[in-house]
Amino acid sequence: MTAFTRSRSAKILAGVALLSASAMVIAGCSSTPSDEPSDGGGSSADLTLKLGSLLPQTGSLSFLGPPMESGVGLAVKEVNDADAGVTIELTAEDEGDTDTKAYETSITKLQSAGVSAIVGAAASGVSRLILDGNVSAGILQISASNTGPDFTDWDDNGLYFRTAPSDLLQGEVLGNLIAEDGHKTLGVIYQNDAYGTGLFDNIKSTFEGAGGEVVADASYNVGDGQFDAQVETIKAQNPDAVAIVSFDQFKTIAPLLVNAGISPDKFYLVDGNLSDYGSSPDTNFPFSLEGAQGTKPGPALEDDFTDRLQTFWTGEGNPEVNDFTYAAEAYDAVVLVALASLAAGSTEGADIAAKMAEVSGGSGDGEKCTSFAECAKIINDGGTADYDGYSGEITFDENGDPQGASIGTYVYGADNLITRTN
């Protein structure tokens, strides 16, 4: 099979300003997958697609596990229920994080299972560690939440995609939000990895470009549990606002900031820590986050979609999902891979990758459709499908980046739950 090759020229995303279950298999019929791609003129395939997911069931991003796993699981169920030529067998493994390194064992299991594509990892730092190995194995990797700008130029033989926008956009939106709120000085606590430094750089450049000044910044390393020194650094400069670029370390950092006399209405959060904390038994903040704000990628979700997610997830014996961060991006990732497999008439990673831009509307002149079943009918009838999903239009460019993306802004109420404000 010939690998799909893309130009790796750098692009800054344009968009409207807009990451626990044990290993499981969701299987349908045991048909034999096609070994040869079709000529692109439609499909009458009967394919069994082995799909892996590598998502955080444990570790510092574990709060993102339920929404993302529910998105993947629902999409798999709906693809299989459509009975339109592709049956997915899903193997789900734990990503953990770069501290616990659960992904090392998990990625070996997925590759040994013979998966053609993997949804994940959630963390950009983990994806950086596994991507080259997946490329060497010919496995397509699609992340619902990798936001590191460097993935745009990664030498991936056309096998890497993401349904979430680059941090270039989120950093710009958050920096502008802080400035538009009238703040003139800013302190930033950030995680010392590519995710944290990337967001910090973009928040700082945007905020200072709007006339503000970052008067203090302090980083910490993944795995750290003590943040007193970072809080002291910020407090010493008494900034108007504080941005916290972290994962679940926020649950330790926030009380320290409050104890230092910095009120929560000065907090600005990012996708790695913006969550509904009011119903989290492991949080127990002794104070309200009312007035704190933050950003995360994704449009406002339709009630029908979130209802389907909850029904599926609780039906699998899990507690209700607390929030839906990256659930739509995970769902869309599965649908796009299944459609590309159907369009290619193949379950080989490179063949699927060659059709990803087409089924997302990034190439060709496809017919708009908004579900796997609807898009699959177009393909099976000999047409070209252009899928628009719950996370937006997506439309992959030559680098596997979504060309259209949205960033939501949110505010906390007295109950420590977030409400979208745009």
Tens-place pLDDT, residues 407-422: 999 999 999 999 999 9
Residue 6 has pLDDT above 80, yes or no: no
Task: Name the E strands within 174-230.
Answer: 185-191, 213-220
Please provide the average confidence, as pLDDT, over all residues in the chain. Answer: 89
Q: State residue 15's pLDDT score.
A: 34
Q: State residue 7's pLDDT score.
A: 32
Residue 178 has pLDDT above 50, yes or no: yes
Phi, psi of 163 (to 5 degrees): -105, 5
pLDDT digits (tens, 9 = 90+) for 94-104: 999 999 999 99
Q: State residue 363's pLDDT score.
A: 84
Q: State residue 283's pLDDT score.
A: 62
- Going from the N-terminus, what domains does the chain have, and what CATH number goes with each? 25-164+304-383 (3.40.50.2300), 168-297+407-420 (3.40.50.2300)
Residue 111 burial class via C-beta count within 10 angstroms: exposed 0-12, middle 13-18, buried 19 and up? middle
Phi, psi of 218 (to 5 degrees): -150, 130
Mean pLDDT, residues 392-411 taken together: 91
Neighbours of 379 (CB within 10 A): 32
Higher pLDDT, 133 or 40: 133
Q: State residue 35's pLDDT score.
A: 41
Q: State residue 43's pLDDT score.
A: 53
Q: What does each C-alpha distance from 133 to 16, 126, 140, 336 come to in angstroms?
A: 34, 12, 11, 22
pTM: 0.81
- The percentage of residues in the chain with a pLDDT greater than 70, rounded to a whole number, is 88
Mean pLDDT, residues 352-376 taken together: 95
